[in-house]
Amino acid sequence: MAPRITRSILTLAAAALAAGCSQLPLKDIGPDEHRTRAQSDRAAVQQEVPPLGAQLTLEEAIARALKFNLDRRARQMEEALALQQWDAAGYDALPKLVAAAGYSARDRDRISRSVDSVTGAPSLANPSISQSREHTLVSLDMSWSLLDFGLAYYNQQQAADRVLAAAERRRKATHLLVQDVRVAYWRAASAQRLRGEVQQAIALANEALVDARRAEEEKLRAPLDSLRYQRQLTENMRLLESIESELATARFELAALINVPVVHQVQYSTDPGAGSLDLLSTSAEAMEEQALAQNADLREHAYQRRIAATEARKVLVRQFPSLTLNLGARYDTDRYLVEKNWAEAGVQTSFNFFNLLALPAQQRAAEAGIALADQRRLAAHVAVVTQVHVAREQLSAARRQLERANTLWVLDEKIMQQMMRREQAQAGSKLERVAAQTTMIISLLRRYQALAQVHAATSRLQATLGVDPLPDSSDDLTLDQLRGHVSTRLLGS
């Protein structure tokens, strides 16, 4: 039997060595599989997303982003994963209940001789067999380590703090998402508002340019005047085309943020009164207190500090001796045993003395982690206080710029009307009308840009203050309910 067992062992060893040294072949994804995946991803992206109506308001755009934006969904899943890890960490504190079964076989009997304990001479009795050649051992053991229990308790504390830190990161991502949506919305609204006027002005400039070239060919004007006239028209056309190109991508950016098809056409509400929440009525000192209590970055740093402090306590807990309680049941089919089943209980303690050598370095590392967390929190504290005042000043300046932009737009529109009347009375040229219309369009564009800056500054200030657009639980809210929360919490309407 021994040669057969030897051959079997050598065969298994050779097979294991060949399997370990072999390399799996490259397996690329075929074109059909890529197309199938793309189609399934396209369906998953738009799953449970209601279609847009004929008109899109700012509060609905923000509500759709909060409910259907894919990046925000990923942040929510990160928080859910941290919650599941916290839930799983709680089971590490339970005792271990292990069931095991093993089969053993040998080619020769286990034969032993005895020696007299007094004389040391060999015993006169014949050698004895103490174990069956083949037998099965079945066991059920429960063990509980106090050291593992203590470490599991601290691990669960850290997992709980990571859940709370993930929630703060989700809050921060939500604030940035709202800010991006507000800016993209007003860029898209200004593109929609200006598209017709830009195209009309470009067409008028083209007509004037054709007339100017004809006049140059017929030598109805001085060559230098004609060239200057054409250059001014071309410069105006360049400005208009750059405006059209700049705003052309705005609706695609907004579509990506609110998760709607980019080819979908929708009318945007261009009411500049949307988002008239007066944040500057609150004093700077009150804003500082609110920001220091609710800012997402500061709150996350506080949880990171608690995680570092718990890690320092774990370093000390690991130095305690390990005390393990064991309780188990055994069953053995060995025919030489008188009692084939029995129970065992025991207490075991152990201590690794080399842990004492690593203790000072581990303590220094843990203290350095705490100091780093404290320093990051203090730096974030100063940054948040600075952000409060910077955001207040940016909002105030943006509002002033919006007032100036509104005034300039009204004046340029009146100037354009006067130029149109002069042209109709043949007292002015098309160049003057094109120039006036281009100036009016640029003023209108700057007006919408200033409005977008007001919304961006408002979002930055609200994010610094930790103003959440949603209540704590928002997964079950409908789109209409989300729109209502956004309207009252963020836009003040």
Distance CA 211, CA 281 (A): 56
pLDDT at residue 301 in the model: 93
Sign of CA dihedral 70, 76, 78, 84: negative
Residue type at position 190: S
Radius of gyration of the CA atoms of the chain, in A:
39
- Residue 400 pairs in a beta bridge with none
Q: Which helix (H) or strand (E) holds 6?
A: helix 2-21
Per the CB < 8 A criterion, the answer to whether 71 and 173 are in contact is yes
SS3 206: helix
Q: Do residues 341 and 331 make contact, with C-beta atoms less than 8 angstroms apart? A: yes
Is residue 83 within 8 Å of 296, Cβ to Cβ?
Answer: no
β-partners of residue 345 are 327
Label residue 131 exposed, middle or buried (CB < 10 Å: 0-12, 13-18, 19+): middle
Contact predicate 79/296, CB 8 Å:
no
Phi, psi of 435 (to 5 degrees): -60, -45
How high is the pLDDT of residue 492? Answer: 63
The per-residue pLDDT string of the chain (493 residues; one tens digit each, 9 = 90 and over) reads 556 666 667 777 777 676 666 666 777 888 888 788 877 877 777 677 777 777 888 888 888 888 888 888 888 888 888 888 888 888 888 888 899 999 888 888 888 888 877 777 877 677 888 888 888 999 999 999 888 888 889 999 999 999 999 989 888 888 888 888 888 888 888 888 877 777 777 787 787 777 777 777 767 666 777 777 778 778 877 877 887 777 778 888 888 888 888 767 788 876 655 455 677 888 889 999 989 998 999 999 999 999 999 999 999 888 888 889 999 999 999 888 888 999 999 999 988 888 888 888 989 999 999 999 999 999 999 999 999 999 999 989 988 998 998 899 889 888 888 888 877 776 666 667 777 777 888 888 888 888 888 888 888 888 888 888 776 656 677 888 888 878 777 776 5
Q: Name the residue type at position 372.
A: L
Structure-block tokens of residue 20: 């370990």
For the record, the structure tokens of 434 come out as 């094109």
Are 365 and 180 in contact by the 8 Å Cβ rule? The answer is no
pLDDT of residue 263: 65
DSSP-assigned letters across all residues of 12-50: HHHHHHHHHH--PPP-PPPHHHHHHHHHHHHHHHTTT-P
134-145 and 96-105 strand pairing: antiparallel
Q: Name the residue with tokens 């009252």.
A: 488
With b meaning 16 or more CB within 10 Å and e meaning fewer, what string describes 4-22? eeeeeeeeeeeeeeeeeee
Strand partners, 140: 99, 329
Q: What is the 3-state secondary structure (H, E, C) of 412-468?
A: HHHHHHHHHHHHHCCCCCHHHHHHHHHHHHHHHHHHHHHHHHHHHHHHHHHHHHCCC
- What is the signed CA dihedral for 42, 45, 49, 54, rounded to 10 degrees? -60
> Are 162 and 235 contacting, i.e. CB atoms less than 8 angstroms apart?
no
Q: How far is CA 203 from the centre of its chain?
A: 46
Return the pLDDT at 437: 78
* CA-to-CA separations, 421 to 228, 309, 341, 426, in angstroms, rounded: 24, 76, 111, 9
Rounded Cα gap, residues 395 and 451, in angstroms: 11
Looking at residue 162, what is its pLDDT? 92
Residue 386: per-residue pLDDT: 93
Torsion of CA 45, 69, 160, 470, to 10 degrees: -140
Tell me how far CA of residue 413 lies from CA of 139, 240, 338, 405, in angstroms. Answer: 92, 16, 109, 12
CA 216 to centroid of chain Cα atoms: 61
- Structure token digits, residue 398: 């943006």
Domains of the chain, each with CATH number or no CATH: 52-107+131-137+146-323+357-489 (1.20.1600.10)
Number of H helices, E strands in the chain: 12, 8
pLDDT at 99: 92
pLDDT at res. 427 = 63
- What pLDDT score was predicted for residue 309? 94
Q: How far apart are CA 157 and CA 153, in angstroms?
A: 6
Environment class of residue 142 by beta-carbon count within 10 Å: exposed (0-12), middle (13-18) or buried (19+)? middle
- DSSP-H helix ranges across 90-115: none
Helix 284-294, helix 296-317: angle, nearest 10:
40
Cα torsion 86, 90, 92, 94 to 10°: value is -170
